[in-house]
């Protein structure tokens, strides 16, 4: 067990079998509804509190906390038990509070323009490591409540399917976040999309499209070679038909790469039959990708043209760019295996690799 949040109610009951029957429910509720650590559960006998503090560890050790947007955006770098580092972002808005969480340390998808992709894959996160990110962010957000969780931090959620879905169920049930306000974002892992189609929980699905042309998408999102656009469209059509849930496409606008009139035509033709919503993301700078984002005038034109063609398109507001907390900027030196460098726990080298 990496985290106290790795335990399902039955596991907790087994751990507390020497206690009165109501105890495990009390502890489970304290962890989830109360967002409390075992030490803080003052409704428990002191001896039990002490024992739980020892046997129910926290998986996440805060390494750094960076704040931007007048305190409305907070990014944490958390060290895990084995020295891997993940990042979590809390974003407070007028009408909602969103947490962006990681599902893997690093990522194996190798998208060229994404800092996490540039840093490579280290390992999957456990369910508890995923859930605990939301719990720690929710504590920091108090007295406001977390209303939305986006699986858009480090890693590819559908490549860690079972642990991610167990986390989804926990966030939805015990933590009380509505399933529609849980958004899983994927590069387009078709078998994962097919499994998600069969799930009863109506989570929202976002697909990182970035190009609706196989030659160009192969270069930007390498998994496209395995699950090309046609195959992806078939799975998405079935998802939309079966679930009647909203589908959205993410599109980071890169100057001269995917912001041309041809791109608009191809995207409109791809998105319209799926009734997908397009979320345009102004490209955020990353150390390993030196191509520029589209100008703000071009971003505007791109959005307007799509809307005119009947594809609902909005611009994703950028948060936390100057603390490397924006889309595609999450990376951590501690996860880089290819280059030799110190990964001492407790060191504070947690931001993007040099050059940022």
The residue (of 16 and 254) whose beta carbon lies closer to ligand SAH is 254
Any idea of the CA torsion for 76, 80, 86, 91, to the nearest 10 degrees? -30
The residue (of 132 and 156) whose beta carbon lies closer to ligand SAH is 156
Positions annotated as catalytic residues are: 87, 327
Work out the number of other CB atoms within 10 angstroms of the CB of residue 17: 9
The residue (of 7 and 90) whose beta carbon lies closer to ligand SAH is 90
With vertex at residue 110, the alpha carbon angle to CA 106 and CA 113, rounded to the nearest 5 degrees, is 100
Smallest separation (angstroms) from ligand SAH to the CB of 192:
11
Give, in order, the Cα–Cα distances in Å from 46 to each of 18, 51, 52, 55: 16, 9, 10, 14
The residues of the shown chain that bind ligand SAH, judged by CB under 6 A, are: 109, 111, 113-114, 152, 156, 185-187, 208, 250, 252, 281, 283-284, 286, 327-328
Which residue, judged by CB position, is nearest to ligand SAH in the bound state?
Answer: 328
Smallest separation (angstroms) from ligand SAH to the CB of 199:
18
Smallest separation (angstroms) from ligand SAH to the CB of 149:
13
Helix orientation angle between 296-308 and 261-271, rounded to the nearest 10 degrees:
40
The residue (of 114 and 247) whose beta carbon lies closer to ligand SAH is 114
Smallest separation (angstroms) from ligand SAH to the CB of 291:
10
Smallest separation (angstroms) from ligand SAH to the CB of 55:
33
Helix (H, G, I), strand (E, B) or coil at 78: strand
Smallest separation (angstroms) from ligand SAH to the CB of 184:
8
The residue (of 80 and 325) whose beta carbon lies closer to ligand SAH is 325
Buried/exposed code over 219-236 (b: 16+ C-beta within 10 A; e: otherwise): bbbbbbeebebeebbebb
Q: Considering only CA atoms, which of 293, 310, 330 is closest in space to residue 86? A: 330
The residue (of 284 and 294) whose beta carbon lies closer to ligand SAH is 284
Judged on CB neighbours under 10 Å (0-12, 13-18, 19+), 179 is middle
3-state secondary structure 2-13: CCHHHCCHHHHH
d(CA 60, CA 351): 17
**Secondary element (H or E) of residue 348:** none
Helix orientation angle between 190-197 and 229-243, rounded to the nearest 10 degrees:
10
């Amino acid at each position: 067990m990496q985290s106290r949040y790795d335990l399902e109610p039955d596991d907790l009951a087994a751990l507390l079998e020497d206690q009165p029957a109501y105890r495990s429910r009390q502890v489970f509720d304290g962890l989830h509804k109360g967002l409390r650590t075992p030490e803080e559960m003052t409704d428990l006998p002191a001896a039990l509190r002490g024992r739980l503090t020892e046997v129910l560890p926290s998986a996440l050790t805060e390494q750094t906390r960076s704040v931007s947007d007048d305190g409305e955006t907070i990014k944490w770098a958390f060290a895990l038990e084995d020295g891997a580092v993940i990042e979590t972002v809390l974003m407070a808005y007028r009408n909602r509070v969103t947490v962006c969480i990681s599902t893997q340390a690093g990522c194996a998808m190798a998208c060229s323009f994404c800092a996490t992709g540039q840093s490579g894959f280290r390992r999957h996160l456990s369910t508890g490591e995923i859930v605990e990110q939301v719990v720690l962010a929710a504590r920091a957000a108090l007295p406001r409540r977390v209303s939305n969780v986006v699986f858009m931090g480090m890693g590819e959620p559908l490549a860690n399917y079972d642990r991610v879905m167990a986390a989804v169920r926990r966030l939805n049930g015990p933590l009380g976040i509505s399933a529609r306000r849980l958004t899983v974002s994927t590069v387009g892992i078709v078998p994962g999309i097919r499994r998600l189609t069969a799930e009863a929980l109506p989570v929202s699905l976002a697909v990182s499209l970035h190009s609706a042309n196989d030659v160009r998408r192969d270069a930007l999102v390498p998994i496209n070679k395995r699950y090309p656009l046609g195959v992806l469209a078939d799975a998405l059509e079935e998802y939309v038909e079966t679930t009647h849930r909203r589908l959205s496409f993410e599109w980071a606008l890169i100057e001269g790469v995917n912001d041309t009139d041809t791109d608009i035509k191809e995207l409109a033709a791809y998105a319209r039959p799926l009734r997908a919503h397009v979320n345009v993301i102004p490209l955020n700078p990353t150390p390993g990708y030196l191509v520029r984002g589209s100008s703000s005038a071009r971003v505007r034109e791109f959005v307007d043209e799509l809307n005119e063609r009947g594809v609902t398109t909005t611009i994703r507001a950028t948060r936390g760019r100057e603390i490397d907390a924006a889309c595609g900027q999450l990376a951590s030196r501690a996860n880089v295996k290819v280059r030799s460098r110190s990964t001492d726990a407790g060191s504070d080298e947690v931001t993007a690799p040099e050059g940022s």
